[in-house]
C-alpha cells in the first residue's frame, strides 16, 4: 500500500494518539495565542451589562459533571460578572438546578469563589441557592406556578424561605426578570421556552456546549433566545472582555490545537484522495 493510500485510511488509534498529543501539548505549554472577540460573547456581556436595576435573575445549573469541562468556565465568569454588579444595580440572584448534579457543580464554584468575601454579597439578601428541582419539564412548570411550594427550604442551609428577605417577592415565574441557563441537554432551552418564556414572557439567555449550538440558531434568530454563549471559545472571549482571564482562556489553546489537527487530517485525507484518482473512482 502506497503512502498516499495509507494517508486516506489512517488507523483510528493513530488519530486518537495525535488528538491526545495535540490537546496535551498546549495544556503543558500554554501557547498564549491571541483570542479575537466574536459577536456571541460580546452580545452576552452587553446583555448582562444592560440588565435593569432591581432585576430578579434566576441562574439555572442545568448540567452535571460531564458538562463541566466546557460549561464550568462560563458559569464562573458569568457568576463573577453578575455578583460584581449586584450591589450597584440592586440585583437579586436565585440559583437553582433542574439537573440533579447542578447544585454539586455550584458547590465546586463556591469552593473557588466566595461571594461574600470577594463581592460583599449577603446570602439570603443579595443571592440564594435553592438547589435541585426534580421532574424535568414538569418540575419547571410546577416551579413556575409556585416557587415556594417546590422549594420550601434553601439548599445551602436547609432553612425555610420565609427566613430570607430576598424571597419575599419571588413567588412565581412572573416575579423573575431573566433566566440564565447553563445547559447540556434536557431539560434545557425547549423546556424553558415552553414553560417560562412563552407562558410568562420571562426572557432567557443560554450557555451551552458546542454540540448543542446548531440547534439554538432558530431560537436566537427569532428573538426567543436573547443571548447565547456557545462553548469554550466564546467563554474565553467573554473572559477577555471582562478582563478576567480564567479557566476558558487556559483551555482554549487546546481547542485551537485539536481544531488544527482536524484541519490537517482533512486536508491530508483529501490530497491523498485526489492524488490517487479517488475523485474519478467516485
Partner 1 sequence: MSDTLRRIEIPIIITAICTLIQVIPYYIEIEVLDNTAATLQQWVLLIVSMATFIGVISIGMVHGKRVQRQSEGWYFSGILLIVMVVMALTGLPLESMGLGTKNPVYDFLFTNVQTPLGGTMYSILAFFIASAAYRAFRARNIEASIVLIAGIFMVMSNAPIFTSMFEGFKGIGNWIFDVPNASTMRAVTIGAALGAIALAVRTLMGIERGYLRGGGED
**Which residues, 259 to 278, sit near partner 1 by CB under 8 A?**
259-263, 265-266, 269-270, 273-274, 278
Computed over its alpha carbons, how large is the radius of gyration of the chain?
22
Mapping DSSP to helix (H, G, I), strand (E, B) and coil, where does residue 239 land?
helix
Q: DSSP letter string over 15-64?
A: HHHHHHHHHHHHHHS---------HHHHHHHHHHHTPPTT-EEEEEEE--
Q: Does 43 bind partner 1 (CB under 8 A)?
A: no
Please, which residue, 103 or 207, has the CB nearer to partner 1? Answer: 103
Segment 23-42, which members bind partner 1 (CB under 8 A)? 23, 33-36, 38-39
Please, which residue, 120 or 218, has the CB nearer to partner 1? Answer: 218
Which stretches of the chain are assigned E, i.e. beta strand? 56-62, 92-97, 127-132, 178-183, 204-208, 225-230
- Rounded to the nearest angstrom, the gap between the alpha carbon of residue 123 and the centroid of all alpha carbons in its chain is 23
State in angstroms the smallest separation of the CB of 86 from partner 1: 25
Please, which residue, 58 or 272, has the CB nearer to partner 1? Answer: 272
Site string for partner 1, 159-198 (x = CB under 8 A): ----------------------------------------
> Contact 89/209 with Cβ under 8 angstroms?
no
Segment 192-251, which members bind partner 1 (CB under 8 A)? 199, 209-211, 213-215, 217-218, 220-221, 231, 233, 236
Residue 187, preceding peptide bond in cis (omega within 30° of 0): yes
Task: Tell which phi-psi region holds residue 119, choosing left (phi > 0), alpha (psi between -120 and 50) or beta.
Answer: alpha
Please, which residue, 113 or 142, has the CB nearer to partner 1? Answer: 142
Please, which residue, 51 or 142, has the CB nearer to partner 1? Answer: 142
Site string for partner 1, 52-81 (x = CB under 8 A): ------------xxxxxxx-----------
| DSSP secondary structure code for residue 153 in this structure | B
Site string for partner 1, 122-161 (x = CB under 8 A): ------------xxx-xx-xx--xx---x-------x---
When binding is defined by CB under 8 A, the residue of 42, 55, 84, 108 that contacts partner 1 is 108
State in angstroms the smallest separation of the CB of 88 from partner 1: 32
Could you tell me the strand order of the sheet in which 225-230 lies? 127-132, 92-97, 56-62, 178-183, 204-208, 225-230
Q: Residue count at the site for partner 1 (CB under 8 A)?
A: 71
As a whole number of angstroms, the distance between CA 191 and CA 212 comes to 14
Q: Does 113 bind partner 1 (CB under 8 A)?
A: no
For residue 178 the three cell numbers come to 431573566
As a whole number of angstroms, the distance between CA 70 and CA 151 comes to 29
When binding is defined by CB under 8 A, the residue of 10, 51, 109, 250 that contacts partner 1 is 10
Please, which residue, 120 or 134, has the CB nearer to partner 1? Answer: 134
State in angstroms the smallest separation of the CB of 173 from partner 1: 13
User: 166-178: buried (b, 16+ CB within 10 Å) or exposed (e) per residue?
Assistant: bbeebeebebbbb
Amino acid at each position: 500500500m502506497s503512502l498516499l493510500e495509507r494517508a486516506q485510511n489512517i488507523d483510528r488509534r493513530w488519530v486518537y494518539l495525535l488528538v491526545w498529543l495535540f490537546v496535551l501539548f498546549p495544556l503543558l505549554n500554554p501557547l498564549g495565542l491571541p483570542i479575537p472577540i466574536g459577536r456571541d460573547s460580546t452580545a452576552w456581556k452587553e446583555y448582562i451589562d444592560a440588565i435593569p436595576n432591581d432585576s430578579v435573575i434566576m441562574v439555572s445549573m442545568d448540567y452535571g459533571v460531564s458538562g463541566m469541562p466546557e460549561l464550568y468556565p462560563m458559569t464562573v465568569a458569568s457568576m463573577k460578572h453578575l455578583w460584581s454588579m449586584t450591589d450597584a444595580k440592586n440585583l437579586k440572584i436565585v440559583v437553582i438546578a433542574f439537573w440533579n448534579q447542578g447544585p454539586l457543580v455550584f458547590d465546586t464554584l463556591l469552593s473557588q469563589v466566595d461571594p461574600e468575601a470577594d463581592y460583599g454579597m449577603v446570602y439570603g439578601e443579595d443571592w440564594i441557592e435553592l438547589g435541585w428541582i426534580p421532574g424535568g419539564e414538569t418540575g419547571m412548570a410546577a416551579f413556575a406556578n409556585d416557587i415556594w411550594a417546590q422549594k420550601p427550604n434553601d439548599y445551602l442551609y436547609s432553612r425555610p424561605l420565609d427566613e430570607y428577605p430576598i424571597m419575599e417577592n419571588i413567588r412565581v415565574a412572573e416575579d423573575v426578570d431573566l433566566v440564565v441557563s447553563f445547559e447540556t441537554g434536557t431539560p434545557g432551552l425547549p423546556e424553558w421556552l415552553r414553560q417560562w418564556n412563552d407562558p410568562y414572557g420571562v426572557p432567557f439567555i443560554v450557555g451551552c456546549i458546542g454540540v448543542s449550538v446548531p440547534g439554538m440558531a432558530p431560537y436566537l434568530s427569532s428573538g426567543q433566545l436573547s443571548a447565547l454563549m456557545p462553548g469554550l471559545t466564546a467563554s474565553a472571549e467573554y473572559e477577555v472582555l471582562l478582563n478576567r482571564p480564567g479557566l476558558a482562556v487556559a483551555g482554549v489553546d487546546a481547542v485551537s490545537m485539536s481544531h488544527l489537527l482536524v484541519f490537517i487530517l482533512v486536508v491530508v485525507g483529501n490530497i491523498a484522495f485526489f492524488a490517487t484518482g479517488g475523485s474519478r473512482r467516485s
